[in-house]
Amino acid sequence: MKLAVIPARGGSKRIPRKNIKLFCGKPMIAWSIEAALTSACFDEIIVSTDDIEIAEVARQYGASVPFMRPAELSDDYTGTIPVISHAIEWLNGKGHRIDQVCCLYATAPFVSPEDIRQGLDILTEKGCDYAFSVTSYAFPIQRAIRINAESRVEMFTPEHFNSRSQDLEEAWHDAGQFYWGQSDAWVSKKMFFTPNSAPVQLARHRVQDIDTPEDWLRAEWMFKAMQAQTN
């Protein structure tokens, strides 16, 4: 059984009710549910939430909510892996046999069905624990600077002051959209960022972290521009 789990707790602080706030005309979580449905990868798509209103919206858009997430997995400090592990173990306890699981974030409106399918293909072909979305940094991280306590500038790696950008190794970061994983990797709580994971590479313009109102505004601009190109 291939399972999608969309974590969506109700306690967002910086953007209240973020998971169901309207984004370009739909509740934010709806975009992730619809991408999962369109990908045709899953036997079941569930939302793991502690919030009744989020659960109702999730069901309206085609996901199931077979349980309410316990309070000890719904605070500001709970990571993704324990939430997915809990969902797998709950379903295993109901007699389901889970093979591959995709954690799909509720705040990833740029996620595409094609990327989800590619993630499954990579997970299967590479025989790895996880396959997850990544994108490249726009600027060489080796030339990053910090502002110190005296409001002065320092380089993180001063030895690269004279290095040309084209001579530096390209760096990548987690795109925060989805994480395919083997069921046993999730349950045993293996980490993502190891040689046992494979990347699903996304273009930078299709990645936007949405944590602040400014992020939200930028994401809507980007989303509308992308929709205009495809219409």
Report domain extents, the chain: 2-134+174-230
To 10 degrees, what angle do helices 28-39 and 52-60 make?
40
Asked if the model's pLDDT at residue 230 lies above 80, the reply is no
Q: Could you read off the pLDDT of 219-229 as tens digits, one per residue?
A: 999 999 988 87
Helices (H), the chain: 28-39, 52-60, 80-93, 113-126, 183-187, 213-230
- How far apart are alpha carbons 81 and 136 in whole angstroms? 24
Q: Which residues contact 12 (CB under 8 A, 6 or more apart)?
A: 18, 19
Q: Could you read off the pLDDT of 112-133 as tens digits, one per residue?
A: 999 999 999 999 999 999 999 9
Q: Indicate the pLDDT class of residue 231, thresholds 50, 70 and 90.
A: low
How far apart, in Å, are the Cα atoms of 92 and each of 7, 97, 198?
18, 6, 26
Query: Are the beta carbons of 198 and 125 closer than 8 angstroms?
Result: no
Q: Which residues contact 148 (CB under 8 A, 6 or more apart)?
A: 154
- How far apart are alpha carbons 180 and 183 in whole angstroms? 9
Residue 146 CA to its chain's centroid (Å): 27
pTM of the model as a whole: 0.93
Closest CA to 206 of 38, 62, 31: 31
CATH of segment(s) 2-134+174-230: 3.90.550.10
How far apart, in Å, are the Cα atoms of 73 and each of 146, 197, 217, 225?
34, 25, 29, 37
**How many residues would you count in the chain?**
231
Angle at 90 between CA 34 and CA 125, to 5 degrees: 60
Q: Which residues contact 197 (CB under 8 A, 6 or more apart)?
A: 128, 129, 130, 131, 132
Q: Could you read off the pLDDT of 96-111 as tens digits, one per residue?
A: 999 999 999 999 999 9
The β-bridge partners of 100 are: 2, 182
The β-bridge partners of 183 are: none
Q: Indicate the pLDDT class of residue 20, thresholds 50, 70 and 90.
A: very high
Q: Indicate the pLDDT class of residue 14, thresholds 50, 70 and 90.
A: confident
Token look-up 């395919």 returns 180
